[in-house]
Amino acid sequence: MPPIKKFQVTFDCAEPERVARFWCEVLGYVVPPPPEGFASWDAFDRALPPERQGSAFACVDPSGEGPRLFFQRVPEGKAVKNRVHLDVRVGTGLVGEERVAALEAECARLEALGAVRVRLMLADEENESCLAMQDVEGNEFCLD
């Protein structure tokens, strides 16, 4: 059996389009074209039964290399810490104060988009510095 090369990351959320557009800004992703026969995603959404309108949204890496992100509406709210989270790699190859400065700059940009800073974890003997954050619906992620 050949190894799997592509995968999708799925987020359960209350407002799929809002969360998807946040992650588009974070990662430089884009909204894919609407399905054939529809001029826009709004037009596609309006064609769905009322109970399914606004229930899902997606974004993709424009280079085609990163995973597709899919956002689906669920009735329950977030209750506990994520068991899986994304690490947004903004400090790769940087160390010390230079790395912390890069993390802080990206944190400020993402806070302006609605993210919440949780805590800065400074480098120790085993790990480089990273910054824990939450997206617009409270999903944890790290700036790494």
How open is the CA angle 91-95-97, to the nearest 5 degrees? 95
Q: Quickly state the pLDDT bin for 49 (edges 50, 70, 90).
A: very high
> pLDDT at residue 8 above 80?
yes
What is the DSSP annotation of the chain?
A: -PPP---EEEEEES-HHHHHHHHHHHHT-BPPPPPTT-SSHHHHHHTS-GGGTTSEEEEB-TTS-SPEEEEEE-SSPP-S--SS-EEE-SSTT--HHHHHHHHHHHHHHHHHTT-EEEEEE---SS---EEEEE-TTS-EEEE-
Task: Read off the pLDDT of residues 81-90 as tens digits, 9 standing for 90 and up.
Answer: 888 899 999 9
Confidence of residue 5 (pLDDT cuts 50, 70, 90): confident
Q: Which of 79-83, 90-94, 110-114, 117-121 has the lowest mean pLDDT?
A: 79-83
pLDDT of residue 55: 95
Look-up: residue for tokens 């700036």? 143
Question: Using 50, 70 and 90 to split pLDDT, how confident is the model at 131?
Answer: very high
Phi, psi for 83 (deg, rounded to 5): -85, -20
Q: What does pLDDT average to over the chain? A: 94
pTM for this entry? 0.90
Q: What is the pLDDT of residue 78?
A: 84
* Residue 16 near residue 54 (C-beta atoms within 8 A): yes
Domain residue spans of the chain: 8-73, 86-143
Q: Is the dihedral of CA 30, 135, 116, 131 positive or negative?
A: negative
* % of residues, the chain, pLDDT over 90: 88
Using DSSP bridges, classify how beta strands 8-13 and 68-73 pair: parallel, antiparallel or unpaired: parallel
Look-up of token digits 């949780």: 118
